[in-house]
A and B are shown apart, each in its own frame.
Chain A
Amino acid sequence: MAMNVESGEGSMSIAKPVSSGLSAVYRRNLQGLALVPAIIALTIVGAMINPAFLTTGNLFENILGFSSALGVLVIAESIILIGGNIDLSLQSTVGFSVVLFCFLTGGGDSGGPGLGWTPLPAASATLVVAICIGLFNGFIVSVLKLNAFIVTLAMLILLQGLTLGISNGQTYTNVPEAILFLGTGQILGIPVQALIFIGAFLIAGLFMAYMPTGRAIYALGGNPTAAFAAGIKTGRLTIGLFVFGSLMAVVAGVLLLSQVASAPPNLGANIIFTVFAAAVLGGIDLNGGRGSIVGAALGVLMLSIIQNILILSSVPSFWIDAVYGAIIVATLTVGRLPMLRRRFMRPR
């Protein structure tokens, strides 16, 4: 202990001063909550535009419920991004897994070609296929060291093609009752979808913040070499991330299926763009290692609120996407302005 004091004094004069106090506390603990003011502002705008906005039905069913599939995908993509990887193929795993299940159980008046299996083996087979997709992506990225972007882009195209191929381009209508309940059912007056949305983010948030595996994922994305040197099995973890992503895509597929009550071959099309928009808005760093699940949840919430307000307001339907895109771009830009100011304040 005597030694500490001695050496402590020596390094004190040279130690770099570090920012402390309120700003540091805010930065460390509330970083994920950056979108809260924007969400409050949007809520006020929504309430002013249309009184229907602030009804419990609208909030739970349309805002939380309809974005449950998006939310599950955002959780999957955020965790993969935090781990320093990227998976674009999630989007087509959504449609492929659902259409595959309908194909296996289908036949007769199912709306498309099918094999007529019973639901249980069909569901198991679908899960096995999804796990294989994740294993394959993970193996190529982690062992063969190919770029994750291009590998999963190829996988996205392949799965999209397979979905069209097996369904013959037709829409399945043989949706099991249990799945339909997910779409319309309520527990204690709250839609099941909204409960799933809240539960999924709660579990994912706690997992990433407190479980050793969650922390190892942060380390993997923040500095893979350091994670490796700390004894983390980085290869295995990377493969695990992709398998987890595929399984979550299946869950998202089931949630989407329950909403639309049929399985068209383009189920989930283009959803990956919204997934990335929500994750990035929520502060997930595309370079890995930074961002929180709470932030990602707020990102999803914000996008859903914007979409909801656009529908409730009198924006012509063909213009909704353009307005939606413009708001995302604007939000991202505004979020970066403080950094810009810092750069100009400290000229090099």
Chain B
Amino acid sequence: MTINPHTPPVAVCGVSKSFGASRALLDVSLTIPKGRSRALVGRNGAGKSTLISIITGIVMPDTGTVQFADARGQSRIECVYQRSTLVPGLTAAENVMLNNYPRRLGLVDWGRTRAAGRDILAEWNCAHVADQPAEKLAPVERKIVEICRALSRNPGVLLLDEPTAGLDYAGAQHLFERIRQAQERQVSIIYVSHHLEEVFDVCDDTTVLRDGQVVLDRDLSGMNMRDLVEAMVGEAAAADEVATPPAVPPIARPSLRVSSLHIGERVKNVDLELRPGECLGLAGLEGAGHMQVAQAVCGLQAADSGVFEVGDHRIERLTVPRSIAAGIGFIPEDRHDGGYVPAMSVAENATMPIMRKLRGPFGAVRRLLREQKYRELSGEWAIKCDGPDQPVEELSGGNQQKVVLARAMSSNPSTIVLMNPTAGVDIAAKRSIYQTVKASAEKGRGVLIASADDEDFSICHRVIVMFRGKIHRELVAPFTGHELALAIQGE
């Protein structure tokens, strides 16, 4: 190659980026020397996604530059995202050559395409999958095919975003071998992951982001997970985050009890108890099973086995209507997906589960009754809108989330289950949501919070941390942000 060996394939210099009033990145610099791999880590909201978008050119930085060593014939950067980009129906070899097909007389030469794809796969000891259709590949094979495709375009840098999501341990190890193989060929790698132990398996260097700034930039030798967690969480923040929930609720009968819950390979033998007035957190890395447990409690996810006891009711097969009837209110993991109906009014969305209780003569929904109920709920959650008739799609993210929260409370549940309750809402809305949830617990409701945002656990009395489908640790308040972050990593 003609490239100057001293020029790093990618250099990010002094990049800052703000979205409106919120600052996403401030003066971020990083370089990746040839053939080295660098981990990019940070908690949710630290600015990783923004930095990735800037490096890949999707977002322009406000200030600063991203420079690539521009070698002839080399594409600058190739990305392998968490979500598969393989085309189903095409074979692995055809997918490797996607949009890069050899032609004859202007037509795609499928014979040569397959041969070339097979050759590339063979370099990575994967020729045996070449003729299999993409949808029949195992998860790890799919990832490897995507990596092969990215590398066949000769990038200076390969960006891997959560590549082990959906892979089991053996699959992940298999993938790491391939990544090391790529490194030996002088490809530089940016590795983005929440799983810190993988970072130590794969990477040479690390950049840790916190609140949009680089707080650590060094090689990983001599470091351990504790050091990384410390950098991610931060000294000052960790001290602040010592959870101080108002009061330990008096001993009472549990309002919710889950015993021996199994969901496929994702949740194994989970038991938990929630008392009235208690905030219980469910934490874990993505895929650790904590979100599935919360979904099972709401009836959104069918359990293979397990018993749910809500108050005095024992329920074997929980469905959404049954869980609502038993006194469980919930907000789903993604408000856009399962939270609200965009074209419908805030009042209708907030009262949707209790529509049938607002009926008047002829069985029609009584508008006045609905608005009255909505006003009670909107007062509690401080929803900002033009009026009960405004469609939810016109509200800001924080207010949309409050409508979804109000919907969870409309049936006056004894237990509320909140999944990612503050995802994508601004700080003010976040505070307001915390206050209302705390107030709701003080009134005697049991609250179960499953979240990817550690800050959500600051209002919890207890946090159950799951790791690879099992209960790994239980933290009782007060606990520090460090303790929580380490437990989530499986320490």
Contact = CB atoms under 8 A, between A and B. Distances in A.
A230 B365 contact: no
A16 B344 CA distance: 18
A20 B386 CA distance: 7
B73 to A, nearest CB: 33
Chain A interface, DSSP helix/strand/loop, else mixed: helix
Contact of B426 (A11, A228, A289): A11
Contacts of B330: 229
A24 B387 CA distance: 11
A230 B319 CA distance: 11
Interface residues of B, number: 48
A164 interface: no
A223 B340 contact: yes
A229 B298 CA distance: 9
B365 A215 contact: yes
Interface string B300-328: 10000000000000000000110010000
Contacts of B344: 215, 218-219, 222, 289
Nearest to A3: B435
A212 B320 CA distance: 18
B298 to A, nearest CB: 8
A54 B431 CA distance: 64
Most buried by B among A7, A211, A225: A7
A19 B385 CA distance: 10
Chain B interface, DSSP helix/strand/loop, else mixed: helix
Contacts of B298: 229
Contacts of A218: 341, 343-344
Interface string A208-249: 001110011011001101111111110000000000000000
B396 A226 contact: no
B429 interface: yes
B357 to A, nearest CB: 9
Contacts of A206: 364
Contacts of B407: 230
A215 B379 contact: no
Contact of A210 (B364, B391, B439): B364
A11 B353 contact: no
Contact of A219 (B321, B341, B386, B390): B341
Given A4-B382, A28-B390, A226-B341, 8 more contacts: A3-B432, A10-B432, A13-B428, A14-B396, A28-B389, A211-B363, A223-B340, A226-B338
14 contacts: A8-B432, A11-B384, A11-B432, A14-B21, A15-B398, A16-B396, A18-B390, A18-B394, A18-B395, A28-B391, A212-B355, A223-B340, A225-B332, A230-B407
Interface of B: 21, 298, 300, 320-321, 324, 330, 332, 337-344, 348, 352-353, 355-356, 359, 363-365, 379-380, 382, 384-386, 389-391, 394-396, 398-399, 407, 426, 428-429, 431-432, 435-436, 439
Interface of A: 1, 3-4, 7-8, 10-16, 18-20, 24, 28, 206, 210-212, 215-216, 218-219, 222-223, 225-233, 289-290
